[in-house]
Every structure is written in C-alpha cells, then in structure tokens.
C-alpha cells in the first residue's frame, strides 16, 4: 500500500475529503518521524512499536575493488509488529 492509497482509504472510511485525509496521514507520519528523531519509542497498541537502534561501526568491503572500507556507526529505525498483527498475518 502506498501513501496515496492510504490517504484514499482514510478518506473513504471517514467520509473526509482526500485533502483532509492527506493532512491527517501526513501529520501522523510527521509525528512518528519527529519522535524517532528525538530518540523516543513509539508504541501503537495492537499494531506495533517503532524505536531507534544503534549500529556499531564496522569494517565493510568495496564490492568493486575488494578493498576494506570503514562503515561508521549510525542509528537506524526499527519496527516490531504487535502480537495482533502477527496473528492476523499468520491465520
């Protein structure tokens, strides 16, 4: 499902215009992004949780030349689905 399809679904389910639904969807996504940037954990009961994981620096390899490359440490977003989602997927 794309963001545009999600907007259409929200508009259809809530009898809102697509413009209003787009504002709602964008606000939710912006709120999740802002919280993750601040290092906060987001938990949506029945759906799942988002958090930031820290990846340590490591030694990588350039596939073209085969030489070693230092990959710096970084933060990556992580999503853990909730039990309800897992159960629905594995019916």
CATH of the domain at 84: 4.10.520.10
pLDDT of residue 91: 82
Reduce the DSSP state of residue 79 to 3 states and report it: strand
Is pLDDT above 90 for 90? Answer: no
**Structural domains counted in the chain:** 1
Residue of 12, 54, 50, 3 lying closest to 31 (CA atoms): 50
* Residues of the domain holding 23: 3-89
Question: CA–CA separation, 41 vs 20, rounded Å?
Answer: 27
Enter the tokens of residue 32: 């999740």
pLDDT of residue 39: 92
Q: pTM higher than 0.85 for the full model?
A: no
Q: For residue range 39-89, what is the model confidence (pLDDT) as tens digits?
A: 999 999 989 999 999 999 999 999 999 999 999 999 999 999 999 999 999
For 21, other C-beta atoms within 10 Å of its C-beta total 20
């Amino acid at each position: 499902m794309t963001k545009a399809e999600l907007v259409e679904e929200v508009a259809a389910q809530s009898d809102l215009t697509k413009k209003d639904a787009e504002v709602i969807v964008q606000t939710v996504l912006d709120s999740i992004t802002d919280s993750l940037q601040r290092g906060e954990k987001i938990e949506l009961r029945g759906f799942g949780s988002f958090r930031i994981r820290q990846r340590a620096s490591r030694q990588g390899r350039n596939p073209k030349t085969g030489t070693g490359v230092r990959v710096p440490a970084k933060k990556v977003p992580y999503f853990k689905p909730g039990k309800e989602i897992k159960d629905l997927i594995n019916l």
